[in-house]
């Protein structure tokens, strides 16, 4: 049975001056993977089974995180962009998840935590 893909879109803002990104910009995790594989600006590396892809600009701009096959949310991808508008920083995030709802919810919660840590780190750096 083919898993149903769930598109989640969330904005984790340091301010509330922006709209969340609509999904990740692709219909499926595979389509996102193929597009990034063919993007000349994309730089990828593996980290504990995760495929991390950074794209500095263009249509695919952002930090992309593809889950390993062993993760319960597989296939899934999280796309994040750190943006600044009107002097305020925020993290824009889109998630495409093909796992069970509970696993996808856990994936989003884990990235919420990462976004909060990023928020604290940026705030600390701005103080100095």
**Residue 21 has what pLDDT?**
56
Nearest Cα neighbor of 52 from 31, 36, 35 is 36
State both tokens at 35: 């597009």
Sequential pLDDT tens for the chain (128 residues)? 233 333 333 333 333 333 345 589 999 999 999 999 999 999 999 999 999 999 999 999 999 999 999 999 999 999 999 887 787 778 889 999 999 999 999 999 999 899 888 878 877 888 87
The count of structural domains within the chain is 1
Domain holding 67, by residue range, is 6-127
Distance CA 103, CA 72 (A): 6
Residue 83: inside a domain: yes
Residue 108: inside a domain: yes
Residue 102: inside a domain: yes
Residue 72: inside a domain: yes
Residue 1: inside a domain: no
Residue 74: inside a domain: yes
- CATH code for the domain of 37: 3.30.530
Distance CA 71, CA 119 (A): 26
Q: Tokens 């892809």 identify what position?
A: 53
Distances (CA, A) of 122 to 16, 50, 72, 93, 110: 16, 24, 31, 17, 19
């Amino acid at each position: 049975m083919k898993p149903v893909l769930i598109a989640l879109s969330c904005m984790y803002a340091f301010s509330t001056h922006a709209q969340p990104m609509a999904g990740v910009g692709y219909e499926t995790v595979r389509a996102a993977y193929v597009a990034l594989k063919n993007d000349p600006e994309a730089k990828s590396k593996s980290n504990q089974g995760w495929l991390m892809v950074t794209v500095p600009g263009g249509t695919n701009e952002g930090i992309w995180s593809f889950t390993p096959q062993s993760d319960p949310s597989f296939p899934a991808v999280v796309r994040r962009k750190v943006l600044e508008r009107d002097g305020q920083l925020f993290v824009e995030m889109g998630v495409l998840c093909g796992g069970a709802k509970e696993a996808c919810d856990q994936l989003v919660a884990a990235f919420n935590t990462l976004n909060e840590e990023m928020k604290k780190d940026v705030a600390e750096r701005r103080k100095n």
